[in-house]
Copies of this chain bind each other. A is one copy, B any other.
Amino acid sequence: MSQPATTLAAGGAGSSVGVVETRYLDLPEPVRLDCGRELHPVRVAYETYGALSPRRDNVILVCHALSGDAHAAGLAKAPPEESARDGFGAEGHGKGLGWWDGMIGPGKAFDTDRFFVVSTNLLGGCRGTTGPSSPDPATGRPYGPDFPVITVADMVRTQRAFLDALGVERLAAVAGGSLGGMQALEWAVRYPGQVDAVVVIASTHALHPQGVAWNAIARESILRDPAWQGGRYYGTGRAPDAGMGIGRMVGHITYLSAPALEAKFGRRLQSSGDLRYTITEPEFEVESYLRHQADSFVRRFDANTYLYTSRALTYFDLAREHGGGSLARALGGVEARTLLIAFSSDWLYPPSASREIEQALRGLGKPVELQVIEAPYGHDCFLLEEARQTPVIRRFLERGSS
């Protein structure tokens, strides 16, 4: 299972896990879903970094966010056209580099000299794991809108089944940011005896109503694009790129903070001179940035996966799912140590949500640590503030092994 750690000359703090190839595993059994349906077959795209210990007790599962994939670290053997690394952090980032490369590798936060790090593409994805663009065995055509509506719990069930197939019973840790953090929390609640620690970054136990609204708007913009065609756009030569682009623009602004936009773009115009008096063309730099982000995203992402994943993350609600409305009750069975990291300027997954989790766990007498990092980049901090997260995470993981 281990991956050769070819150190790259270009490696920054810590070194690189080297060149990595995404692999695929077909689950032997159907996955039972919250909605009542079963999904079969399910293929899982994954990568691993580091070496599995003989006792199989050094496994860290890394969970990605809405637009990520299994390629979390190292250099892809076959670099994609567009990086899965988004936003500010994408600039100057090699296209083949994993989305969390700064965090995973020898000497990094998730230290592959010690841990065997496993990263999977989530259920419903479009980067190798079964999702709405996968063939429906009933028809031989892509599922499209016939794909079952999935939840974060379903993603976690799929990861559990995948690790079973890999022969991994316990996890030293589950870690993720944003939607990835939701998966980590779900792991801690759903499989309490099988997770030693969870690292939940810029995430929440339940998205607040404004976040629900932003996600609804992004989905609506896809649904209202005539090219969506009721979700059966595969093979038609048309895809709801226009609508998904709008959704992505909304996402981008919610991932950033107002001060970050001010610092990066201000009100600078595209043309060095004066106004061009145009309705259809970008006039301000920030307008041009949004178009660019939308255009590059639609080249690499499937609109139905966006819909299903966005729906799953708005559904996620630990208190409702596991506690009859009470977060404390939902967390009552957690056995893992919990590290929560939040960012002061993140208004989509605000520190207050992490604080609620911290207080609930503390009230239950469970080991929990909350670090709120003062940083200006909003939700995107979880991908950008690697240097400041690294010592916090390393210390937390080291304490577990002492």
Could you tell me the distance between the alpha carbons of A208 and B212 in the complex, rounded to whole angstroms? 24
Residue of B149, B225, B253 touching A213 (CB-CB under 8 A): B253
Mark out the residues of chain A between 169 and 217 whose CB falls within 8 Å of any chain B CB in the assembled complex: 206-210, 212-214, 216-217
B267→A213 contact, CB < 8 A:
no
- The verdict on A279 contacting B265 (CB below 8 Å), with A216-B287, A217-B250, A290-B217 known, is no
Give the nearest-CB partner of A253 in chain B: B213
B245→A224 contact, CB < 8 A:
yes
**Min CB distance, A279 to chain B, in Å?**
5
Binding site secondary structure of chain A: helix
Number of chain A residues close to chain B: CB under 8 A:
59
Could you tell me the distance between the alpha carbons of A308 and B177 in the complex, rounded to whole angstroms? 39
Residue of B213, B256, B279, B307 touching A145 (CB-CB under 8 A): B279
A246→B258 contact, CB < 8 A:
no
Give the nearest-CB partner of A243 in chain B: B224
A308→B279 contact, CB < 8 A:
yes
B250→A209 contact, CB < 8 A:
no
B280→A214 contact, CB < 8 A:
no
**Min CB distance, A216 to chain B, in Å?**
4
- The verdict on A212 contacting B347 (CB below 8 Å), with A145-B279, A220-B246, A279-B308 known, is no
- The verdict on A347 contacting B213 (CB below 8 Å), with A224-B242, A243-B224, A279-B145 known, is no
A212→B287 contact, CB < 8 A:
yes
**Min CB distance, A116 to chain B, in Å?**
35
B275→A217 contact, CB < 8 A:
no
Is A223 part of the contact surface with B, judged by Cβ < 8 Å? Answer: yes
Query: Within 8 Å CB of A286, what residues of B?
Result: 209, 212-213, 216
Is A315 part of the contact surface with B, judged by Cβ < 8 Å? Answer: yes
Query: Within 8 Å CB of A317, what residues of B?
Result: 267
Query: Within 8 Å CB of A261, what residues of B?
Result: 208-210, 213
**Min CB distance, A145 to chain B, in Å?**
7
**Min CB distance, A215 to chain B, in Å?**
9
Residue of B149, B219, B266, B277 touching A209 (CB-CB under 8 A): B266
A267→B220 contact, CB < 8 A:
no
- The verdict on A246 contacting B217 (CB below 8 Å), with A212-B284, A275-B315 known, is yes
27 interchain pairs, CB-CB under 8 A = A34-B275, A35-B277, A145-B279, A145-B280, A149-B277, A207-B267, A208-B267, A209-B262, A210-B261, A212-B284, A214-B253, A217-B246, A217-B290, A220-B245, A220-B249, A220-B290, A220-B291, A220-B294, A221-B221, A224-B225, A226-B226, A231-B279, A250-B250, A267-B317, A279-B307, A279-B308, A283-B311
A-B contacts besides A212-B287, A216-B282, 7 pairs, CB < 8 Å: A216-B287, A220-B246, A220-B294, A221-B221, A224-B242, A224-B243, A275-B315
> What is the interface of chain A, defined by CB distance below 8 A to chain B?
34-35, 145, 148-149, 206-210, 212-214, 216-217, 219-221, 223-226, 231, 242-243, 245-246, 249-250, 253, 256, 258, 261-262, 264-267, 275, 277-280, 282-284, 286-287, 290-291, 294, 307-308, 311, 314-315, 317, 320, 347
